[in-house]
Amino acid sequence: MRPGRCVIGIDLGGTNIRAALVDERGSVRQRHCLSTGAADGVDAVVSRLVEAARTIVSSSGEEVEAIGIGAPGLVDPSRGVVRIPPNLPGWGEVPLASLIEGALGYPTRVGNDTNMVTLAEWMCGAGRGARHMVCLTLGTGVGGGLVLDSQLYLGARGAAAEIGHMTVEPQGPLCNCGNRGCLESLVGASAIAERARMAIERGEGEEMRRLSGGDHEQLTPEIVARAAECGDEAARRVLYDVGVYLGIALASIVNLLDPEIIVIGGGISHAGDLILEPARAAMEERAMRLEDRHVSVVPAALGDDGGVIGAALFALGDDVDPVQG
């Protein structure tokens, strides 16, 4: 990419569409956010994606080279097709890249949203400089991404790193995918809220009860984390258990891939060491010990910008090098 040129990165979520103008160094120059309106269907959401990109172009005055989009669910990046994404009702197999390119005229690439975060964290975030990196995003679902030998690894069909659907507890809770005991069913937002509700029903978690206004249905990971920070022991146990399950999965990842660093992002990761400390301990206890191996487990560095930065960099293909220093 020639100096001074810019790319639009878009993060398509079930609730919001985030768009940004990103330069060749991965710096965000301008942001725009609007509601996805997922219930309105495919055509309406595609129109909003076009609107978001046009807003960035018209308000920035910059020359745009390409558009990159991170989308949830299974994505075929070679064809730019999004397949049955969660939280986007009515989407079957949507040729999103060709629809956006046809409407706007810019070359467009589409990838899985967690892969986009992974790319951004590797090139200009917490994993900068690593040759072998794993990224997880913890939220409503649990996503994963891989950088192996300094390449974003997508797998044979673009479906690699579905870490959230690794089995951690064979007789565990039912996951949305139909299996039992997936990592997502144990550390995702719904799992955390359910454990918190159970604690309150046992007469524990007074701070969680207070912060939720006495309405157990209003419990969220954010409330649990706030209660834990205030010293609520039940909340701390909920997050400790989440960290242990996460660490069990990380140990398997370490044994399989031998990464230098594991980056943890997503809203749930904001609980910080309340989750990461037990995760590190469980990983170190269970992973095969090698004398010279130390795998860092660190929080993501780019926050909400990770998705748009990664999508923009993905749009450039091989025209951009990892940001160093």
pLDDT at 1: 43
pLDDT at 325: 36
Q: Please say whether the beta carbons of 46 and 24 come within 8 A.
A: no
134: β partners = 146, 262
pLDDT at 320: 52
pLDDT at 292: 84
Which residue blocks in the chain are alpha helix, DSSP H?
42-60, 96-104, 113-124, 183-187, 189-201, 206-211, 221-229, 233-257, 273-286, 306-315
pLDDT at 157: 83
User: Pick from 299, 266, 26: which is nearest to 140 by CA?
Assistant: 266
Domains of the chain: 6-120+305-319 (3.30.420.40), 129-300 (3.30.420.40)
pLDDT at 324: 38
> Side chain identity at 199, as an amino acid letter?
A
Ranges of residues in the chain whose predicted pLDDT is under 70 = 1-4, 318-325
pLDDT at 319: 52
Q: What are phi and psi for residue 142, nearest 5 degrees?
A: -125, 115
Within the chain, how many helices (H) and strands (E) appear? 10, 13
pLDDT at 111: 95
145: β partners = 135
pLDDT at 216: 84
